[in-house]
Structures are given as structure tokens and as C-alpha cells.
Amino acid sequence: MAAPAEQLKQAMPYTTRYPELGTGPLDVRPLIDPELFELERERIFKQAWLYVARAEELAEPGDYKLRRLDVANTSVIIVRDRNGEVHAFHNICTHRGNKLIPEQEAQSLGHTATHTLTCRFHAWTFNTDGTLRGVARQESFAGLDKSCLGLNRIHCAEWEGFIFINLAEQPRQSLVEYLDGVADHYAGYPYNEATLRFRYSTVLNCNWKVSLYAFSEGYHVPTIHQGTFPSLATLEHTEFRCFGPHSTSGLYVPPVPGLEPTPVTANLGGRLRASNRHRPHLELLPENINPDNRQDFQFEFSVFFPNSVIHLCAGNGYPGMAIFHHQFWPIAVDKTLWEGTNYFRPPETVSERIAIAHTNALHRNAWLEDTSTMEQTYQALSSGVLDEMVLMDEELMIRNTHKHWHDYMGI
Amino acid sequence: MALLPEQFSQLESLAETWALPTELQRSERRWAAGPDDYRRFYEAMLPALDQVLDYLDRYEPGNIPEPALPLYRLALAFAEAAPHNELYDCSNTVPNSFDARRFVAAHGEITDR
Ligand code: FES
Ligand SMILES: [Fe+2]
């Protein structure tokens, strides 16, 4: 009979590589406790670097993005100034605190041709580098020092065109230090070429980690996605690596025996696979992704702590899709804004555009399958019946996130 | 006046209800469609798909002239609806799924007609 340690190694070859993660069950309380949620605001979301924009969303000087951050009770302006530099500011006018840019949606894009932002309340005007430019009837303020009344700055840094912010007064690490090994692991892919974006969002009545964890494993794929992707039934989820709080893995899908693609998918997907622009570009993958150059590579699948999951497909899995990602924005202990975005290279022909719509629709439908479990899971967990949840080997990225969640929280 | 070029006259009645300009409108059309709607759409479109796409490829994405827009929108609607035929047994929902009406296409309208 094999010794327990060997049995463990055999059942959990990846998990046992990271002894600090353990192999036991995880505590459920972090997913349901309102007091812990209040602490998460300070200890996680005001400490960690948060991905908030792609550089292409702010392609030109004067472009800006407004991003609501309910978890920090603020909204953020990310703006490219006239010299091309990107800044982030709290969206609050330094006169009497009106929102500088009125906010309608969780995120939106805008442009200022004059490279200034003017408050609607009393017309204070700020430059896109944050300095206060003009004050109406300035002579009626006693000794106003405009140089002290610039916009409230937020730390902001860019990596591979992914723009991150950090709400800490003084971040503990630079962005690249924070990203640890995942920064190199993902470096070098032409992310900037995939400029056609389809973003879906919904507010889920569940904790943000219920949704994050559901999107952090491939174990659910043969069951949850048998409707939309019977072709994924054979998936292999492998090549797990942890880089500090972040983790990554490779997903491969050998052909399902006897399963032919359906006619419309064969036609439209085939067009993308045949196009030089949208075809699988395995050769563009960073060196350590798909290291054996497998043709059945589906995507690299990574959790960027705390609240982003990024997939690099390079056109190889879903026809034409370059990357896609999920973000989980906490609103309350039981409320989460989920956003899923698919990225494609822009089409050169109308038929490519239509084929992209097909890939995108299938993937959106798969997300409808994913999100179907989350509110049910949360409701059931919040009953308090389960104290713990048990994980299999390929649920390792959840285990890694959960461990680092505890470290950040100091509990 | 006909919506589609003459060689696609067999698709004209489909264009009247499926050739909608926005993703949300096309989604609403799918949610309202019954199994027979899906069957009629699929049976008429599949054999014509290559010709429709060839026809549209005389234009550039983002620059499709007004008279060709209904055909373009019909093709988009078909690309989005076909999974209901090919995977969901002509049901107007994805089986065992989240309520699609709560899913917002937050990219808004992509102006690439
Ligand atoms: S609050 Fe903005 S100008 Fe007064
Ligand atoms: Fe999934």
C-alpha cells in the first residue's frame, strides 16, 4: 500500500508542489462574512494593484476612462495627457467635491479635445495632468493657492498595455514587483493589436470570490458547458504555476472522438482559421506558454490577484479570439459587478466581422452557463451549513488565491 | 421596397423581422423566437450563407452602404442565432443558464457597419 504522502502526490501532483498551500479544505467564512468584507476594502482593494484599463482604450492624448470602484467608494479617472503620459485621479473636484465627470455607468470612455476637464458645478477647470488650470472669479477666494488644489492622484502604472492603479498612499511594491513571475510569463504578446472588444457585464447577487473561484478552474467545463461547448469535454488543465498571489495554468483540448463541428461554426470559424490575421498564432505566444507547442492549446489561464482572470488564446482556441478576461468588482458582501471582455483583431472583411460575431456569441452563451451557478452557490454557502470546501488538484488556483487572501487580510 | 438585393429575395421575409441594427434588438428577437422561427431562419440561411458573405465582402467593414445594411444585419443575426439550432434544440434560451436579460452588452453599439 502506498504511503499517504505518496498517495497525496499521485492524486495532487500540482498542489503538492506548493507545500505552503496545503492540501486540506478551505474555510468558507471569507466568502460570506459581512465583517470580513468591510476589512477587504482596506486590506485588499486599497493595497493591491488593480487592473483598470487597456492602453488602447486611451489611445490618443485627451482620451480618458472613468472607472467606478464601489469597493473603495470612489470613481477613478484614467487619462492620457497631451504628452502621452497616463495618470489616474479620484473623480472628485477639489472645490466642493462634486464628481468632476458625471458618472452613468460602471465604466465609460471619453475624450477631451482641449486636454482639460471642467466641473459642471462652478466650472473649475483641470488639465489632464491633474493641475488646476482655471477658477471662475478667482479674485473672490482669499489667497487661493491653485498649486495645492490639483486633482487627487492615484498611483498608476502600465505593464504590457495593461494599466493598473493602486489606491494605497504608498504602494508596498512597484507594479512589476507586485506581478512577480506572471509579468515575464505573459510578456511579449501583441496584446495591443486586439482592439475589437466585446464586453458583457452583470451584477451578481454573490460574493466576488464565489464568482472569481468559479472562473478559476476548468473542472466545471465538461458539466457546465456541455450545452455550448461539447467540444471541450476532453480538456486537460495543466502546467500550473504560482507566482506569489497570482497563478497560471495551460488549457488544452484534444479532439473529442466522433464530434464534428456544427455547420455554421465550421463555416464561420473556418473562415477565421483560414485568415492570416485571425488564424491560430502559436508562434506569438510567450516562451513559457504552450512550451511543447501543442496544436490543441486552447488558452493560458491566469488569476491576477485580487480580481482579474486573464486568458491568452492567440486565436488558437475559440476561432479568432486573441485574449479574454474577467473582472470581479465587489459592491457588497453579496453583490458583485462581473465584467467579461473578448478581444479580437479588427476584421479586414465583412465576412470576418460576421464570423467574429459568431465566436463572440458562443462565448457569451458559455458565460451565461458559468454565471448560472454563482448566485445559487452563494445562497447555499451563506446558510452556514458548510464550514469548509474541498478542492481537487486542478482547483489549485483557487487554493493559491485563498491563501494569499488570508495573508493580505492578516487572518 | 425590398430590403435585400434581388438575388436574396427568398430571405426577404426573414429580413423583415431579423435584420435589426443593435445587438440588444437582435437578442430580444432571439428571446421572442419559437422553435419554428429558428428552423425557418436556419433552413433558409444555411444554404445561402456563402453567397451572402461573398456579396457582403465587396464592402469594407465599417463602410457598408445603407442599402446593404439589412443583409449585413441579417447575417449578424444568423451568426448569433445559429447556436440555438445547432446546440440548443431550437430553444430560445441557453439551457441551464443565467437570465440572459440580466446580461448587458456593455460595449454598446460597435459602429463598424
Ligand atoms: S464643486 Fe467643482 S467647481 Fe465647485
Ligand atoms: Fe466556464
**B26-66, pLDDT tens digit by residue?**
999 999 999 999 999 999 999 999 999 999 999 999 999 99
d(CA A157, CA A87): 8
Chain A nearest CA to B8, separation (Å):
17
- Give the ligand 1 atom nearest the CA of A98: 1
**CA of A221 relative to ligand 2 center, distance in Å:** 6
Domain of A246, in residue numbers = 182-409
Residue A98 falls within a domain, yes or no? yes
A117 lines ligand 1 (CB under 6 A): no
Residue A67 belongs to a domain with what CATH number?
2.102.10.10
- Helix, coil or strand: residue A391: coil
The per-residue pLDDT for range A50-93, each reduced to its tens digit, is 999 999 999 999 999 999 999 999 999 999 999 999 999 999 99
**CA of A157 relative to ligand 1 center, distance in Å:** 28
- pLDDT number for residue B1: 84
Q: Are residues A199 and A348 in the same domain?
A: yes
CA-closest candidate to residue A160, choices A70, A53, A40 = A53
Q: Are residues A116 and A254 in the same domain?
A: no
Q: Are residues A195 and A311 in the same domain?
A: yes
Find, in chain A, the residue whose alpha carbon is nearest to that of B62: A350
Residue A188 falls within a domain, yes or no? yes
The model's confidence at residue B101, banded by pLDDT at 50, 70 and 90, is: very high
Please answer yes or no on whether B56 and A354 come within 8 Å at the CB atom: yes
A98 lines ligand 1 (CB under 6 A): yes
* Domain final position from A170, A192, A217: A170
Residue A287 falls within a domain, yes or no? yes
- Give the ligand 1 atom nearest the CA of A124: 3
- What's the ipTM? 0.98
Please answer yes or no on whether B57 and A200 come within 8 Å at the CB atom: no
Q: Are residues A254 and A147 in the same domain?
A: no
**CA of A52 relative to ligand 1 center, distance in Å:** 26
A120 lines ligand 1 (CB under 6 A): no
Residue A220: Cβ within 10 Å count: 14
Q: Are residues A336 and A198 in the same domain?
A: yes
CA-closest candidate to residue A168, choices A86, A88, A92, A58 = A88
Q: Are residues A85 and A121 in the same domain?
A: yes
A124 lines ligand 1 (CB under 6 A): yes
Q: What are phi and psi of A403, to 5 degrees?
A: -65, -45
Residue A161 falls within a domain, yes or no? yes
Residue A24 falls within a domain, yes or no? no
- The domain segmentation of chain B, as residue ranges, is 11-102
Find, in chain B, the residue whose alpha carbon is nearest to that of A339: B106
* Ligand 1, atom 3: closest residue by C-alpha: A122
- Is A264 a residue whose pLDDT tops 90? yes
Q: Are residues A123 and A96 in the same domain?
A: yes
Residues of chain B with Cβ-Cβ distance to A201 below 8 Å are: 103-104, 106
User: pTM for this structure?
Assistant: 0.97
A93 lines ligand 1 (CB under 6 A): yes
- pLDDT number for residue A2: 53
The per-residue pLDDT for range A176-202, each reduced to its tens digit, is 999 999 999 999 999 999 999 999 999
Report how far Cα A154 is from the mean position of its chain's Cα atoms. 19
Q: Are residues A350 and A212 in the same domain?
A: yes
Residue A37 falls within a domain, yes or no? no
Q: Are residues A162 and A58 in the same domain?
A: yes
Q: Tell me how many domains chain A contains.
A: 2
Distances (CA, A) of A182 to A73, A154, A158, A160, A393: 29, 23, 14, 12, 21
Q: Are residues A189 and A247 in the same domain?
A: yes
Please answer yes or no on whether B86 and A348 come within 8 Å at the CB atom: no
* Domain final position from A116, A142, A170: A170
The per-residue pLDDT for range A295-353, each reduced to its tens digit, is 999 999 999 999 999 999 999 999 999 999 999 999 999 999 999 999 999 999 999 99
Residue A128 falls within a domain, yes or no? yes
